[in-house]
Structure 1
Amino acid sequence: MRLNIRLLSSAVQKRPFYVTTPIFYVNAAPHLGHLYSAVVADAIQRFEKLTNPDCNVIFSTGTDEHGTKIQQAAAKANLPLPDYCTKLSDEYRTLFREFNVDFTDYVRTTEKRHKVAVKHFWNKLVKKDYIYKAKYSGWYSVNDESFVPEAHTREDVINGEKVKVSVESGHPVEWTEETNYMFRLSAFKTHLQEWLSKDGVITPSKFQKQLQELLENEVYFPDISVSRPSSRVHWAIRVPNDEEQSIYVWLDALINYLTVIGYPDEEAMISRGRPWPADVHVVGKDILKFHGIYWPAFLMAINWHPPRRLVCHAHWTVDGTKMSKSRRNVVHPRATPAPPAALRYLLLREATMATDANYSETKLINVANSELADTLGNLASRCCGAALNPRQEFPPLHVKELADCKQSEVTAQLLDCVERLPGK
């Protein structure tokens, strides 16, 4: 496995080890890329448990359920917004359980506890004078739920028509003029550069360099819009004391990492061991800017530390082609021709974090057969064989370790199978 998990392990833990996935947008069913983020985070927390058995791990995941795309998806599915969000969120939760993603916390942005956290965070930004109201105009991408600077757009041809698109995502943008609340991002350029100068704060290093170059090349580092008119984005958390404005879905979503640890309830955070700053945020490269620029700046604004590390991964292609719904080549994990353990193995074995990995059913089947069934199966068979163990003696399991192992349902089932092997 090429992911260097050892670098992410903490030598001594006096507080919980806190690792997160992004929260996943419920405008569509989960696909291979979502599962990959979750499996990477799961591998990190499992390694932490192996190397530091006494450590308490908090591993959070969940779903992002506000915004224009959710409104559109619910309408297309002909479902009320709350029902649609619950249905899709349950799909993510069930999928992760099926693939043994051993999360401890699952958060949804439509939960009351999250709304409380978001409004408290907003009020802190207002109190610190980092939010102000202004007329705003610019190119807006509905798909990305964000404004795109002019310099980051280009002309493209879609369905025979010339349209403006985002250079980063390739999604269409539309010119929008409206009154919004703005966040003074410009005040944090130097602070962000200092944070990004620390070795290993973004892994792999190529993504850290991308963010550093972004900050260096921006002659004018603009403030960002952090609200939308609620008449346009009604499925969102309202700005405190202003029902005509909805909080920007990315500001809303990023605060989930604080919601999980009990923010803003001081006693709740103490009871969880004050696990901030987060040890590892696992993110895909398409959301690096939000986690590597916006999120640290938001935290700095309320005098909280940025996360200790972002682990950023590249994407998965399918038979050498970018995965997309329009090409109808999105890989749904349950539909793959191998059991969950084999797909998990392929995801961690095949991908290098810095470059896109390619999925094919042929590769999955070949790897499952040759490396799992044949190589590992043969190793297990030889280790138990009469040539190495002529008297067929096996040491008993330690009672304490056995009891600890059986706390996990998956491990308990595996041990049960092992204990029944001699009879078969």
Structure 2
Amino acid sequence: MPIFVQFKRNFNLIMLGQKVKLLKIALRTYSKKLAGNFYVTTPIFYVNGAPHIGHLYSACLADAISRYQRLLCLENSGITRLSTGTDEHGTKIDRAASASKAPVMDYCTKMSHLFAEVFREASVQHCDFIRTTEQRHEKAVHHFWNTLFERDTIYLNQYNGWYCVADETFITNNQLRLDEQSGARYSLESGHSVEWTEEENYMFRLSKFQADILYWLQQGNRVRPVKFEKILMDMLNEPLLDISISRPINRVSWALPVPNDPTQTIYVWFDALVNYLTSVGYPDGKYTEFWAPNVQVIGKDILKFHGIYWPAFLIAAGMEPPRQLYVHSHWTVDGQKMSKSKNNVIDPTIAAKTYTMEGLRYFLLREGTAHSDANYCSVKAMRILNAELADTLGNLLSRVCSKALNPRQVYPRFHTAQLREILKTNNGRQLRDVLQQFEAKCTQHFNDGNFYMGADLIMSTLHAANRFLEFSRPWELKLKISDVDIDKRLTLPMPQCDENCLKLETIIAMTMDTLRVCGIALQPLVPSLSTLLLDKLRVPYDQRKWRNLNHHFVQVAEGALEPPLEVCLNRTHLILFRRLTPKEDDHVEPKLAKMKEPEKCKKSKRKTKNVVS
């Protein structure tokens, strides 16, 4: 009988026997919250090496998700929480500390601070940076262990199998590759060598929860992109075996001790996964305010641990598994796998000296795709940042804020008659059509976690605004307006103003409005740069929410919104993003401009009621 057919029969029997149990689990743990707090996590990062762009990408991706969630401001929404941190136990850490000739705890502290500093510089707005060497985490891990032990899902047993020291995990026979010449065996997944090990371990009854894991996966949108859900389903096509969750202390000493057994230490992955509970206050009662995680961002290399082991541990403890795993692929460098042996690991701190940290963050989110590996190329990074942030975005802002075109330095109001006339032209209609579709398309991309598609949409919208400005030829209108007309514009009632002056102001206002909309949408991607942009336009903080994407000149033209009042621009000279130079010896970090406190203006605020619904 084929293995799959035999497994399917056995699995059907399991499903039948657990039908009542699954229904109870469904009622107890798999309910959806329509509103409430929102919890996002990154994986915690292993401190056996310094941070690289793969680590930063994970953190920026999770940060973009949490920032977007805050912008949504849904009705009855609660607190959005982002947690990150460092994983500091295991043999590899112990060896790395020895190699650096430092006490292991000192080594962990130093490396953890490197991660924290990189994330701070990259504007990763986390609520908690957890370290697995903290006392609160040891308390949480021991409580979780005891819960599983009391539920009879942990037992002591003699264990033997192939163990990978580099990956700190046991490997099954079908996960091995045999070298015919040397007779050595290697992990198919990582390529690291394995060794036969026989020892006494504590085991977790993973086999008992196969049906539960499958049920969890079948609830829809549990794992995204869908290709990674299929990978998990393939794993579940084979019977799950019980797994070892402890190691003898004489083999792995730098780890948390097993409760009530000084001869064993806790498996590093069991320890690491519990960090998501520790971060929200487990085991104290208030942790339930944020449980279960809404989105857990992970790399594809740790899918098995988060998609099989983690939900099984939680179900065994009577807790709800994560609502969604967002899995991303890896980064190559110039088409090659990033590795220490190839000396091509990209240090974010060094890269930021060329691109700025904000520029690096934008490039990673712009080029990174969850479904397939992305490629880091310095030439491409510089080209994208110059073309999109410096030219498309920065130059457009500079043009409409220039004293030559906008001598009064204002964000003008829309003049309804002129606005409607402009929207009758092909030039005006094209910008209108782009802006009308913007909110729905951008929301879809960001909801799916496809920030690279959102960035593409934002840039295409800015291109449309640049074309609109170019074809509108505002500088020709400006030549028709005398300085006297500009002075009169400050005192005359609207009907008495020069037609060219009103049209010019409306063109500038339409362009600035597109910049405002794109600036709001850019906040999850480049928070510092988008703040500079919105500050320059003097957009009030309460009008920088996602709902404000739909409050634009199209609604003014249709009569759905009153034209907002004129606003004085922030008069500080601003170069939003300086063009980067490809000089190899240039180690000076291009700085994002700092803006001073806005100057006072008689009409310094838009009427909130005109813009916010």
- Per the normalisation by structure 1, the TM-score is 0.88
**Coordinate RMSD, CA, aligned:** 2.5
1:197 partner letter:
Q
The aligned counterpart of 1:339 is: 356
Give the drift of 1:102: 0.9
Aligned residues of 2:175 and 2:189 also touching (Cα < 8 A): yes
Q: Structure 2 CA distance, aligned partners of 1:397 and 1:11?
A: 36
Among 277, 282, 296, the residue aligned to 2:292: 277
Q: Structure 2 CA distance, aligned partners of 1:133 and 1:250?
A: 18
| Higher strand proportion | 1
Q: Structure 1 CA distance, aligned partners of 2:363 and 2:380?
A: 9
SS for the counterpart of 1:88 is: helix
Aligned residues of 2:299 and 2:328 also touching (Cα < 8 A): yes
The aligned counterpart of 1:367 is: 384
Q: Structure 2 CA distance, aligned partners of 1:245 and 1:144?
A: 19
The aligned counterpart of 1:316 is: 331
Q: Write out aligned runs for 1:54-133 (5 A).
A: 55-133=78-156
Q: Which has the larger displacement, 319-328 or 377-386?
A: 377-386
2:72 aligned with 1:51, yes or no? yes
1:278 partner letter:
P
1:227 partner letter:
S
The aligned counterpart of 1:13 is: 35
The aligned counterpart of 2:595 is: 417
Among 259, 271, 278, the residue aligned to 1:259: 278
Q: Which has the larger displacement, 163-172 or 340-349?
A: 163-172
The aligned counterpart of 2:393 is: 376
The aligned counterpart of 2:264 is: 245
2:43 aligned with 1:22, yes or no? yes
Aligned residues of 1:234 and 1:246 also touching (Cα < 8 A): yes
Q: CA separation of 1:317/1:22 partners in 2, compared to 1, >3 Å: closer, same or farther? A: same
Aligned residues of 2:277 and 2:287 also touching (Cα < 8 A): no
Q: Structure 2 CA distance, aligned partners of 1:381 and 1:234?
A: 60
Q: Structure 2 CA distance, aligned partners of 1:162 and 1:29?
A: 34
Q: Structure 1 CA distance, aligned partners of 2:349 and 2:235?
A: 38
Q: Structure 2 CA distance, aligned partners of 1:328 and 1:97?
A: 26
Give the drift of 1:314: 0.2
Q: Structure 2 CA distance, aligned partners of 1:352 and 1:102?
A: 22
2:207 partner letter:
S
| Cα deviation 1:52-99 (Å, max 9, x = unaligned) | 276411100000000110111111010101101000000000010011
The aligned counterpart of 1:203 is: 224
SS for the counterpart of 1:97 is: helix
Give the drift of 1:384: 2.4
Q: Structure 2 CA distance, aligned partners of 1:105 and 1:69?
A: 25
| Cα deviation 1:257-287 (Å, max 9, x = unaligned) | 0001110112x436xxx10010010000000
The aligned counterpart of 1:229 is: 248
The aligned counterpart of 1:185 is: 206
In the alignment of these two chains, the number of paired residues is 396
Q: Structure 2 CA distance, aligned partners of 1:29 and 1:390?
A: 50
Give the drift of 1:368: 1.2
SS for the counterpart of 1:283 is: strand
| Larger relative contact order (Cα-Cα within 8 Å, sequence gap ≥ 6) | 1
Q: Structure 2 CA distance, aligned partners of 1:189 and 1:321?
A: 37
Q: CA separation of 1:332/1:400 partners in 2, compared to 1, >3 Å: closer, same or farther? A: closer
Q: Structure 2 CA distance, aligned partners of 1:208 and 1:280?
A: 15
SS for the counterpart of 1:178 is: strand
SS for the counterpart of 1:30 is: coil
Q: Structure 2 CA distance, aligned partners of 1:81 and 1:352?
A: 36
1:41 partner letter:
A
The aligned counterpart of 2:342 is: 327
| Cα deviation 1:131-167 (Å, max 9, x = unaligned) | 001110111111211101011100249xx95531111
SS for the counterpart of 1:120 is: helix
Give the drift of 1:244: 0.1
Q: Structure 1 CA distance, aligned partners of 2:543 and 2:327?
A: 35
Give the drift of 1:402: 9.2
Q: CA separation of 1:326/1:421 partners in 2, compared to 1, >3 Å: closer, same or farther? A: farther
Aligned residues of 1:32 and 1:331 also touching (Cα < 8 A): yes
Q: Structure 2 CA distance, aligned partners of 1:303 and 1:388?
A: 65
Aligned residues of 1:67 and 1:249 also touching (Cα < 8 A): yes
The aligned counterpart of 1:410 is: none
| Cα deviation 1:147-202 (Å, max 9, x = unaligned) | 01011100249xx9553111111111111110000000000111111111122110
Q: Structure 2 CA distance, aligned partners of 1:47 and 1:403?
A: 12
SS for the counterpart of 1:46 is: helix
SS for the counterpart of 1:308 is: coil
Q: Structure 2 CA distance, aligned partners of 1:65 and 1:416?
A: 37
2:119 partner letter:
F
SS for the counterpart of 2:302 is: helix
| Cα deviation 1:238-266 (Å, max 9, x = unaligned) | 11110000011000000000001110112
- In structure 1, runs of 5+ residues without a counterpart are 1-9, 405-412
Q: CA separation of 1:103/1:112 partners in 2, compared to 1, >3 Å: closer, same or farther? A: same
Q: Structure 1 CA distance, aligned partners of 2:229 and 2:222?
A: 7
2:415 aligned with 1:392, yes or no? no
1:283 partner letter:
I
The aligned counterpart of 1:6 is: none
1:95 partner letter:
V
Among 57, 74, 91, the residue aligned to 1:36: 57
The aligned counterpart of 2:197 is: 176
- In structure 2, runs of 5+ residues without a counterpart are 1-31, 413-536, 546-590, 601-613
Give the drift of 1:382: 3.0
1:115 partner letter:
E
| Cα deviation 1:330-388 (Å, max 9, x = unaligned) | 11111112101111111111121110000011111111111111111122123324687
2:310 aligned with 1:289, yes or no? no
| Higher helix proportion | 2
The aligned counterpart of 2:373 is: 356
SS for the counterpart of 1:37 is: helix
Q: Structure 2 CA distance, aligned partners of 1:99 and 1:19?
A: 17
Q: CA separation of 1:365/1:385 partners in 2, compared to 1, >3 Å: closer, same or farther? A: same
SS for the counterpart of 2:236 is: helix
Q: Structure 2 CA distance, aligned partners of 1:250 and 1:57?
A: 26
2:161 partner letter:
G
Q: CA separation of 1:312/1:399 partners in 2, compared to 1, >3 Å: closer, same or farther? A: closer
Q: Structure 1 CA distance, aligned partners of 2:40 and 2:115?
A: 18
Q: Structure 1 CA distance, aligned partners of 2:55 and 2:147?
A: 32
- Per the normalisation by structure 2, the TM-score is 0.62
Aligned residues of 1:49 and 1:55 also touching (Cα < 8 A): no
